[in-house]
Structure 1
Amino acid sequence: MNQQNDAITILLANRSYLYRLLQRIFGGEPQAEILRVATDSHTQEALQLLLQDDEHLFDKHFEVLSEVARAMEIDPEQTIDKLRSEYTYLFIGPNSLPAPPWESVYLTKERVLFQESTLNVRRAYLKYNFLPSNYPHEADDHIGLEMDFMAHLSQLAQEHFEKRSIKDFITVVEDQKAFLQEHLLLWIGDFAEDIQKSKTHNFYPPMADLTKQVLKIDAQLLDELLGL
């Protein structure tokens, strides 16, 4: 049992780390610190643990991170400027966005913000008294905020498990599973596809694809945790 508990503890810590990393990648313009974290050995180990059943997938995504790390060593200022331009083009504008970073855009024919899905996301946040960092300046269903919420719940799940508050742990895990199924997994595929179709092919297309894979695998992991 101790071995199983230790394995679960490592898994939960890994989930918290990856969701926080994804929140930082998509939640704002790239910063040098974020890029260093995204390309360091800790991130490599976290991805390897999650993607261990698919070595090809790990190799593909880690190669992208390695390229960014090499570019940061050679010319950090130019690399950051390049990625900031990519982030602005994809997610900020001023032109029409090739990959709008809001859930409601992908769940409505009109592709508009602040729809029923946005309110449902807000209700999920309110259950945990979670106030997004950019509230009220950003719609609740921005990918960065949804990742922030998943990171928050992942941390809660980890804390409950370490305290052996199993009832609370199960509740948080069930709510994370529901949030994935009712929100993130409904649109992350289309979001990633839009980025792949865009004119940029540097950092964010592979990161969006990685995010899609992480969410799918995490949904399976949550099922396994609930089944133990």
Structure 2
Amino acid sequence: MNDLDFYLVCRFYIYKSFYLLFLKPIRDSSIKSLSDEFVVRSCNGSGDKFKMERYADFLAEILKKAEDKDFLDKLEIEYTKLLIGPHKLIAPPWQSVYDGKDETLFTDCTLNVRAKYAKCGLKVTKYLSEADDHLAFELNFMLYLAGVINENAGRRYEAINDSVEFLDDNLLSWVNRFAELLGSCDGIYLKQAAFYLKEFLQNDRKFLNSILRA
């Protein structure tokens, strides 16, 4: 495996870890995936491109503490409070909230994201009840594209272009604000995860653009 292929594989597993963190609270079902040696090696072995070593340490500490059921319960309470409700959310996890002025869901922004998924033959399983521009779904789309980049040489550059476009038009248009708002909240892991996500997305964009310019 050459250096480029190595970094492309690393970014797949880093995206996978962030997707799992923001999809739902950390529970037994996700601990195994987050502890995967490929996630750990991807974070620690790609520091010159993605600078994820501190994120790897953070993740390892959280997962070690997650061996305790009471700690897992605290993680679930935090996720529910900050990303589900029932009270008004300080940092809503939907792009459309940040795209408009009235924090409305299921807007043209949501439909545009849905169209990008559909272009690749994808559809959110909960599309009738959960907006397509939820952070976890947008990360899952990047994860899907990362898989195409790694597994389909004929579509590699098309998928890289789609990834850069999605970062520019979607994730990077609102995740910085999302992370900033979460940063004002008390919590064990979500605000830290959002900070590392913001850093990773910015570095990933630089990395993908360097491939396109080569």
TM-score, normalised to structure 2, is 0.92
Letter in 1 for 2:58: V
Number of aligned residue pairs: give it: 214
Query: 5+ unaligned residues in a row in structure 1: which ranges?
Result: none
Structure 1 residue 17: Cα displacement: 1.3
Pick which of 121-130 and 63-72 moved more. 63-72
Pick which of 38-47 and 132-141 moved more. 38-47
Is 2:23–2:136's contact at 8 Å kept on the other side of the alignment?
yes
Distance of 2:195 and 2:30 partners within structure 1? 18
Q: How does 1:1-228 map to 2 (within 5 A)?
A: 6-39=2-35, 41-52=37-48, 58-59=53-54, 61-73=55-67, 75=68, 77-161=69-153, 165=154, 168-200=155-187, 202-228=188-214
Distance of 2:77 and 2:176 partners within structure 1? 23
The 3 A distance-change label for structure 1 pair 119 and 54 is closer
Structure 1 residue 149: Cα displacement: 0.6
Distance of 2:50 and 2:11 partners within structure 1? 17
Over aligned residues, Cα RMSD in angstroms? Answer: 1.9
Q: Percent of counterpart pairs with the same letter?
A: 30
Is 1:19–1:147's contact at 8 Å kept on the other side of the alignment?
yes
Query: 5+ unaligned residues in a row in structure 2: which ranges?
Result: none
Letter in 2 for 1:185: L
SS of the residue aligned with 1:97?
A: coil
Which is higher, the Rg of structure 1 or of structure 2?
A: 1
Is 2:179–2:194's contact at 8 Å kept on the other side of the alignment?
yes
Distance of 1:70 and 1:156 partners within structure 2? 32
SS of the residue aligned with 1:197?
A: coil
Letter in 1 for 2:176: G
Distance of 1:149 and 1:54 partners within structure 2? 19
Is 1:104–1:112's contact at 8 Å kept on the other side of the alignment?
yes
TM-score, normalised to structure 1, is 0.86
Runs (4+) of structure 1 exceeding 6 A deviation are none
